[in-house]
A and B are shown apart, each in its own frame.
Chain A
Amino acid sequence: MTLGGIDIVMLIASMMVAATPILLAATGEMVAEKAGVLNLGVEGMMIMGAIGGFGAAVLTGSPVIGFLAAAAAGVVMALLFAVLTLKLLSNQVATGLALTLFGLGLSALLGQGLQGIKPPPTARLPLGPLADLPVLGPIVFGHDWVVYLSLALVVAVRWYLARTRGGLVLRAVGENPDAAHALGYPVVRVRVLALAFGGALAGLGGAYLSLVRVPQWTEGMTAGAGWIALAIVVFASWRAERVLLGAYLFGGITVLQLRLQAAGVAIPVQILSMAPYLITILVLVVMSARGGRARLQAPAALGRPFVAVR
């Protein structure tokens, strides 16, 4: 199936690959925000995951260890943010920015000498003849394990938030931390754990960029993916299934503009490259223009500091 010289099946398959880093990061950030913490440092955690995962995978030759290291790097960054905002009560917006600036700098420093190296390839799931099916093969069965992991995580997060006791407590902490505290729930601990989860997923997302999607290390390679993940959480009005929708839409736009560039369409490359960012702005405007509804979905205590009263 082709349309204007672009193969639709391959387009959808590569859309899923392009969307996975953002999907992972946005899912994690959504959980953190559900607990009431606004971590603007997603970009910083992602890029640390990208370099951490890349370095570990190149050193050990194992992409799995790479992804584990990336998650660990994301968690460390998230815990840094947690200590600052939850223990030392710093401003969440400023601290998130600091996390991003620090991550971009430190990753560039750690990545010295890693440029131009090819990482070990991440394996596709051995699904045998299924992957050779027409149409369904490349779309449903032809991916590496991280794509399926990201989808499983979306399902798991949705189930956890909606159906479990832990999810209920997490949401309570994000909606009304004082009430949760009064009921005896450990507000700060819940928030730290939610942040760490978000960091791990952002790290995985970053590693997916450097190990699969690109795959190599370049300075500042996340190029705003972390910020787009933050925008997608708003677009999704803090619901897991809509995060999936948003990330895939965004992945689709990214891949489409890349294909149009490759097909040599008579639009300047730069105009096509700015399309994803412009569309993100457009989406944010549409969501906020729908008025109170989107805002009502936001966790009530999002971004507010919490100080336990004895």
Chain B
Amino acid sequence: MFLLEKRPEASRLWTWGTPVLAVVATMIAGGLLFALMGKDPFLAIRAIFWDPLFGPNASYFRPQLLVKAGPLILIAMGLSFGFRAGIWNIGAEGQYVIGALCGAAVALAAYPAENLLIFPAMILAGALGGFLWGMIPAFLRIRFGTNEILVSLMLVYVAENVLSYMAHGPLKNPQGYGFPGSRNLQQYPSAHNAEVIAGTGLHWGVLAALAAVVVGHVLLNRHIFGFQIRVAGQAPRAARFAGVNPDRLVAICLGGSGALAGLAGIFEVSGPGGQITDAFNVGYGFTAIIVAFLGRLEPLGILLAGLLMALTYIGGETAQLVVGLPAAAIQAFQGMLLFFLLAFDLLTHYRIRRRRIPA
């Protein structure tokens, strides 16, 4: 028999060892799954993790890495603070959509004027939209004690319906021959979130994500707010004695993560996405949850995890081409990764001892 012994402190080795172990285990289990589907597992794994970076078409795929990692990192950074403090915003997908809508609305209202201030105004509107959408569960939790998990999630479905309404109604392109969807912001210079360095995928949203990582790192490690977050998560009662205002924490975590998700949304719609359509959102808000955990809720970890997750997205596309793996496979793959991570986390917090048989 084995016995679990709680470590007095989380093991530093295993804190960073488990994500690596989880990735390896996911490769093995994913390979088995692909083999069961009749696909060559080695070819599939290589197509996911190797080909996008070093394969024959890598020059096309490499810029996509930053394009996909940008929103994931930005959203996950916001979520990580709340997750540490036990405040669960799982509605980032909705905040992302609303941010994109608000920012795009500003751009479309200004169309066809050209002005340097339009882009900053869109970014602000996007952040504000996400912030307000995130403040709904925050307000309800603070004022009525309503569970923020369920409310934030329900609001995703509400946001998706708002998106569909906007794409078919108010934001529809008047010159779009009746098709749903807004004007393409890529063709509107003042509103276009163009690549800062052409051909790299590095647009303003990626820079914002990097800034979020740096600011997050400082906040978490060098600022009283980071201390309050840590205490609130590890010892809620002690936090109250330490002068942490729980309501304020809820508002900051939900509002802040909403604002970051909103930013991700507006950077996406004004850049790689281009236009508001029914199918504008592709689940970054949910994948970012995995990114946050895989990155150990640490800013630098999230940076790496975001890049890795972006790689699996692109890898999913190459695997579709190379071995005919269905697009859905990658979603299962990502879910599996989170499972393994949570399972191996036992090693971080507990020591496994062999039970001695009493003589």
Contacts of A99 in B (CB 8 A): 339
The residue from A101, A103, A270 contacting B289, defined by CB atoms under 8 A apart: A101
Tell me the smallest distance from the CB of B325 to a CB of chain A, in Å.
9
How many residues of B are counted as interface, with CB atoms below 8 angstroms from the partner's CB atoms?
A: 49
The residue from B6, B90, B169, B350 contacting A97, defined by CB atoms under 8 A apart: B90
Interface residue? A227 (CB, 8 A): yes
1/0 contact trace for B92-111 toward A, CB 8 Å? 00000000000000000000
Say which one of B67-75, B139-147, B252-260 lies at the interface with A.
B139-147
Tell me the smallest distance from the CB of A294 to a CB of chain B, in Å.
9
Interface residue? A214 (CB, 8 A): no
A interface bracket (residues with beta carbon within 8 Å of B): 35 or more
Say which one of A1-9, A62-70, A124-132, A272-280 lies at the interface with B.
A272-280
- Kindly name the residue among B158, B164, B286 whose own CB sees the greatest number of chain A CB atoms within 10 A: B158
Tell me the smallest distance from the CB of B57 to a CB of chain A, in Å.
24
When the two chains form their complex, are residues B334 and A105 in contact, meaning their CB atoms are under 8 A apart?
yes
When the two chains form their complex, are residues B331 and A104 in contact, meaning their CB atoms are under 8 A apart?
yes
The residue from A102, A274, A281 contacting B332, defined by CB atoms under 8 A apart: A102
Query: Closest chain A residue to B86 by CB distance?
Result: A93
1/0 contact trace for B317-349 toward A, CB 8 Å? 000000000101111111110110011011001
When the two chains form their complex, are residues B289 and A97 in contact, meaning their CB atoms are under 8 A apart?
yes
Interface residue? B4 (CB, 8 A): yes
Chain A interface residues toward B at CB < 8 A: 40, 80, 83-84, 88-91, 93-95, 97-99, 101-106, 108-109, 111-112, 219, 223-224, 227-228, 230-231, 234, 268, 270-271, 273-274, 277-278, 280-281, 284-285, 288-289, 291, 295, 307
Contacts of B332 in A (CB 8 A): 102, 105-106, 108-109
The prevalent SS among residues of A at the interface is helix
Interface residue? B54 (CB, 8 A): no
When the two chains form their complex, are residues B343 and A88 in contact, meaning their CB atoms are under 8 A apart?
yes
Query: Closest chain B residue to A289 by CB distance?
Result: B144
Interface residue? B162 (CB, 8 A): yes
Interface residue? B119 (CB, 8 A): no
Tell me the smallest distance from the CB of A175 to a CB of chain B, in Å.
20
Known contacts A84-B342, A270-B164; A224 and B335 CB within 8 A of each other: no
Tell me the smallest distance from the CB of A288 to a CB of chain B, in Å.
4
Contacts of A231 in B (CB 8 A): 150, 154
Contacts of B146 in A (CB 8 A): 281, 284-285, 288-289
1/0 contact trace for B123-160 toward A, CB 8 Å? 00000000000000000100011110111011111100
When the two chains form their complex, are residues A224 and B153 in contact, meaning their CB atoms are under 8 A apart?
yes
When the two chains form their complex, are residues B350 and A89 in contact, meaning their CB atoms are under 8 A apart?
yes
Contacts of B333 in A (CB 8 A): 105
Known contacts A97-B90, A270-B165; A224 and B157 CB within 8 A of each other: yes
Interface residue? B313 (CB, 8 A): no
When the two chains form their complex, are residues B147 and A112 in contact, meaning their CB atoms are under 8 A apart?
no
Query: Closest chain B residue to A111 by CB distance?
Result: B328
Interface residue? B49 (CB, 8 A): no
Contacts of A94 in B (CB 8 A): 83, 293, 338, 342
Tell me the smallest distance from the CB of A92 to a CB of chain B, in Å.
10
Instruction: Tell me the complex Cα distance, A126–B291, Å.
Output: 52
Instruction: Tell me the complex Cα distance, A277–B161, Å.
Output: 10
Contacts of B154 in A (CB 8 A): 224, 227-228, 231, 277-278, 280-281
Tell me the smallest distance from the CB of A113 to a CB of chain B, in Å.
9
Instruction: Tell me the complex Cα distance, A111–B37, Å.
Output: 12
Instruction: Tell me the complex Cα distance, A170–B326, Å.
Output: 43
Instruction: Tell me the complex Cα distance, A60–B298, Å.
Output: 49
26 chain-A/chain-B pairs, Cβ below 8 angstroms = A84-B342, A84-B343, A88-B343, A88-B345, A88-B346, A90-B345, A91-B342, A95-B342, A104-B331, A105-B333, A109-B37, A109-B331, A112-B326, A223-B157, A230-B150, A268-B165, A270-B168, A277-B158, A284-B140, A284-B150, A284-B151, A288-B140, A288-B144, A288-B147, A289-B146, A307-B4
Known contacts A284-B147, A285-B144, A285-B146; A89 and B349 CB within 8 A of each other: yes
Instruction: Tell me the complex Cα distance, A105–B154, Å.
Output: 20
When the two chains form their complex, are residues A80 and B339 in contact, meaning their CB atoms are under 8 A apart?
yes
When the two chains form their complex, are residues B151 and A281 in contact, meaning their CB atoms are under 8 A apart?
yes
Tell me the smallest distance from the CB of B94 to a CB of chain A, in Å.
10
Interface residue? B88 (CB, 8 A): yes
Interface residue? B76 (CB, 8 A): no
Contacts of A227 in B (CB 8 A): 150, 153-154
When the two chains form their complex, are residues B342 and A103 in contact, meaning their CB atoms are under 8 A apart?
no
When the two chains form their complex, are residues A109 and B162 in contact, meaning their CB atoms are under 8 A apart?
no
Query: Closest chain A residue to B136 by CB distance?
Result: A281
Interface residue? B290 (CB, 8 A): yes
Instruction: Tell me the complex Cα distance, A112–B327, Å.
Output: 10
Tell me the smallest distance from the CB of A101 to a CB of chain B, in Å.
4
Query: Closest chain A residue to B157 by CB distance?
Result: A277
Contacts of A224 in B (CB 8 A): 153-154, 156-157
When the two chains form their complex, are residues A109 and B326 in contact, meaning their CB atoms are under 8 A apart?
yes
When the two chains form their complex, are residues B90 and A108 in contact, meaning their CB atoms are under 8 A apart?
no
Instruction: Tell me the complex Cα distance, A224–B162, Å.
Output: 16
